[in-house]
Amino acid sequence: MRENFMHVNNPGDSSLAVVPEDDAPNKMIVEHLDFFYGANQALFDISLNIPLHQVMALIGPSGCGKSTFLRTLNRLNETIPATRMKGRVLLDGRDIYQDFDDPAQVRTQVGMVFQKSNPFPKSIFDNVAYGLRVNGIKDKDLIAQVVEESLVRAALWDEVKDKLDHSAMALSGGQQQRLCIARALAIRPEVILMDEPASALDPLSTTKIEDLIGVLKQNYTIVIVTHNMQQAARVSDRTAFFFEGRLIEEGLTREIFTRPKKKKTEDYITGRFG
Partner 1 sequence: MTIGEPRSSSATASLQFARKTTGAIPRTLTLVAVVLILAILAVLLGSIVLGGIGTVSWEFISQPPEQGMEAGGIFPAIFGTVALVLLMVIAVVPVGVLVAIYLQEYTRPDSPSTRLIRVAINNLAGVPSIVFGLFGLGFFIAFVGGGIDSVFFPEDGPVWGQPAIIWAALTLALLTLPVVIVSTEEALRTIPREIKDASLALGGTKLQTIWRIIIPQAMPGILTGSILAISRGAGEVAPIMFTGAAYYLPYLPGKLTDQFMELGYHIYVMATQSPDVEATKPILFGTVLVLIILTLALNSVAIIIRSRMRKGRVHA
Q: Which residues bind partner 1 (CB under 8 A)?
A: 74, 76, 79, 81-82, 102-105, 107-108, 111-112, 114, 116, 118-121, 130-131, 133-135, 167, 169, 180, 183-184, 187
Chain centre to alpha carbon of residue 238 = 12
d(C-alpha 51, C-alpha 29), whole Å = 9
- Which CB, 79 or 98, lies closer to partner 1? 79
Q: Closest approach of Cβ 134 to partner 1, in Å?
A: 4
Q: Closest approach of Cβ 119 to partner 1, in Å?
A: 8
Q: Closest approach of Cβ 11 to partner 1, in Å?
A: 41
Are 50 and 223 in contact by the 8 Å Cβ rule? The answer is yes
- Which CB, 149 or 266, lies closer to partner 1? 149
d(C-alpha 195, C-alpha 113), whole Å = 6
d(C-alpha 239, C-alpha 57), whole Å = 5
- Which CB, 133 or 272, lies closer to partner 1? 133
Chain centre to alpha carbon of residue 267 = 25
- Which CB, 120 or 157, lies closer to partner 1? 120
- Which CB, 71 or 238, lies closer to partner 1? 71
Buried b / exposed e along 46-63 (16+ C-beta atoms within 10 A): bebbbbebbbbbbbbeee
Q: Closest approach of Cβ 79 to partner 1, in Å?
A: 6
Half-sphere exposure of 70 (CA within 13 A, CB side): 30
Chain centre to alpha carbon of residue 143 = 24
Q: Closest approach of Cβ 57 to partner 1, in Å?
A: 20
